[in-house]
Amino acid sequence: MGQGVSCNIHDDHGLFTAIQFGDLHTLNTLLEKDPNLIRQTTVYDRHSALHIAAANGQIEIVSLLLENRSVNPDSLNRHKQTPLMLAAMHGKITCVEKLIEAGANVLMFDSLNGRTCLHYAAYYGHSNCVQTILSSARTSHVSVSWGFSRFVNIRDGKGATPLHLAARQRRPQCVHMLLENGALVCASTGGYGLPGSTPLHLAARGGSMECIRELLAWGADRLNRDASGRIPYTVALKHKNRECAALLNPSSAEPLVWPSALKFISELNQDAKALLEQALMEVNKERERHILEGSGCSLSSPARSDARGIDDNISEDSDSQLCCICFDQLCAIEVQDCGHQMCAQCTLALCCHNKPDPTTATLPSPICPFCRSNIARLTVVKIKVKVTRANQELDLYSSPKQRKSRKSLNLSEGSSSFRGLSAVPSFGRMLGRGSGRVSVDHDCDTHEKLCV
């Protein structure tokens, strides 16, 4: 992939060799002698000069070629692949950006598998290319003519979406990015893999714990069946992916799912979103640890940050910033405009705790547990902690790695579970197959009394 497209052909004029290796001087000399060479293609694959330059990441040559009006940014090779598809396939992000800027069409399909540039970027795991293509589709005519959601879930000739390809090829970053942009987590394939496979089936076959974790956190159903009636758990067992099978076992504990209630928040600050996502993933990792230990699978514990240099003595001044719901974590999320603060775990549990309105079947917007006002915007809290050992005061911004456990009194990653929520009646244990919600042990009146 790093070498791009080679020109193992009879290259009498030396044009394609010069392009492949970025020899700008030779290219200019050849084009000065014969400007028509710019229209030449390779004999078998019919790669144009722009195809070869884009696939090999030769951005200077790509820019030079695009300045010539006779060069079509959507020129097709033998398999109807565009230069943009080849640049996305090989992860040449600068060429992807340049081609899109020059008007390359992200909605072109090849003749091999009926795939677009987004399929290629997801299949080969180039998340930066995925992001660039999605950003372009969101702001271009594609969003108007096709609809952005339709583009994210565009299917190839075998009915596979970019999410299917990313899950099968073990590309967790691309999986996450596609899900964030509206990819359907339970979409079924046509002829790709086994018909009827969901991204979770394909991730189980590929054996990617990271992809499975992402899919489950976004609501993938462990009981979906493919055309042969197999659930993802069965697929993982067949391909001897024991750890994946343990997580996909329908009898194991349900993962926590990214709460739909957060979709009702009009302005979710990106830093706040990152904190909430990290809290959710940590809860699920704790669940995974118990499942894997119980199933006898080997568990590679994630690396944890070690801040022992400053964790000996923390001033009690920081206790005023502890979350008033769980009394375990530092406040990390602030509700605006009321200004009340909570830790990321409690914010997440608050949003998971909402139940649909029985009359409208819709989820209500989250409500601040302190003042009962609707939550319209969440931001990250700036935390000021005084470290007495060094006799200095540190200004810390909340991040997924900057939380404080009351039990350990340090600045390491702290709790990765909802143990702090167990003391709060309104945020009980997680129940219900497929729900991924935090159950409510008491009614709203009890919750109000507790939080006020």
DSSP 307-332: -GGG-S-B-GGGGGGB-TTTSSSB--
Closest Cα to residue 427, out of 415, 412, 437? Answer: 437
pLDDT of 146 above 60: yes
- 34 CB-contact burial (10 Å; exposed 0-12 / middle 13-18 / buried 19+): exposed
Choose the weakest-confidence range: 8-22, 51-65, 79-93, 249-263. 249-263
Provide the pLDDT for residue 294: 63
Tell me, what CATH number does 323's domain have?
3.30.40.10
Q: Which residue has the tokens 């497929």?
A: 434
- 361 CB-contact burial (10 Å; exposed 0-12 / middle 13-18 / buried 19+): exposed
Q: For residue 442, tell me if it sits in a domain.
A: yes
Judge if the upstream peptide bond of residue 337 is cis by omega within 30 degrees of 0. yes
- The gap from C-alpha 435 to its chain's centroid, in whole angstroms, comes to 21
**Would you tell me how many other CB atoms lie within 10 Å of the CB of residue 343?**
31
Q: For residue 411, tell me if it sits in a domain.
A: yes
Q: For residue 174, tell me if it sits in a domain.
A: no
Question: In this predicted model, what pLDDT tens digit does every residue of 305-344 receive, in sequence order?
Answer: 333 333 333 333 344 478 877 777 777 778 877 888 887 7
pLDDT tier, 155 (very low <50, low <70, confident <90, very high otherwise)? very high
Across 162-174, average pLDDT: 97
Contacts (Cβ under 8 Å, ≥6 apart) of 17: 7, 11, 23
Residue 345 and residue 326 in contact, taking contact as beta carbons nearer than 8 Å: yes
Instruction: Give me 373's structure tokens.
Output: 């006002």
Q: For residue 427, tell me if it sits in a domain.
A: yes
Question: In this predicted model, what pLDDT tens digit does every residue of 353-377 receive, in sequence order?
Answer: 444 455 555 556 677 888 878 777 7
Provide the pLDDT for residue 352: 59
pLDDT: is 149 or 313 the higher one? 149
Provide the pLDDT for residue 327: 73
Provide the pLDDT for residue 363: 57
Provide the pLDDT for residue 439: 32
Determine the Cα–Cα distance for residues 284 and 281; give it in Å rounded to an integer: 5
C-alpha distances in Å from residue 367, one per residue of 82, 123, 426: 49, 40, 13
pTM > 0.75: no
Q: For residue 296, tell me if it sits in a domain.
A: no
The continuous run of DSSP H or E covering 349 comes out as helix 344-352
Q: Which residue has the tokens 């694959």?
A: 45
Q: For residue 172, tell me if it sits in a domain.
A: no
The most distant pair of C-alpha atoms in the chain lies apart, rounded to whole Å, by 85
Provide the pLDDT for residue 13: 73
pLDDT: is 402 or 76 the higher one? 76
Q: Which domain holds residue 447?
A: 261-273+310-356+365-451
- The gap from C-alpha 3 to its chain's centroid, in whole angstroms, comes to 27
| Structural domain count, the chain | 1
Closest Cα to residue 250, out of 200, 210, 302? Answer: 200
pLDDT tier, 12 (very low <50, low <70, confident <90, very high otherwise)? low
Contacts (Cβ under 8 Å, ≥6 apart) of 8: none
Q: For residue 399, tell me if it sits in a domain.
A: yes
Closest Cα to residue 333, out of 344, 345, 322? Answer: 344
Percent of the chain beyond pLDDT 70?
68
Question: In this predicted model, what pLDDT tens digit does every residue of 377-419 receive, in sequence order?
Answer: 777 776 554 555 545 544 444 444 444 443 333 333 333 333 3
Question: In this predicted model, what pLDDT tens digit does every residue of 91-139 receive, in sequence order?
Answer: 999 999 999 999 999 999 999 999 999 999 999 999 999 999 999 999 8
C-alpha distances in Å from residue 267, one per residue of 101, 145, 186, 263, 295: 29, 27, 27, 9, 41
Question: In this predicted model, what pLDDT tens digit does every residue of 174-205 receive, in sequence order?
Answer: 999 999 899 999 999 988 988 999 999 999 99
Closest Cα to residue 122, out of 155, 76, 84, 169? Answer: 169
Q: With helix as H, strand as E and coil as C, how does 244-259 read?
A: HHHHHCCCCCCCCCCC
Choose the weakest-confidence range: 40-44, 65-69, 154-158, 288-292. 288-292
Q: For residue 198, tell me if it sits in a domain.
A: no
Determine the Cα–Cα distance for residues 31 and 70; give it in Å rounded to an integer: 13
* CA angle in degrees (0–180, nearest 5) for 355-362-220: 75
Question: In this predicted model, what pLDDT tens digit does every residue of 255-301 receive, in sequence order?
Answer: 777 665 555 455 566 777 777 777 777 776 776 677 776 666 655 44
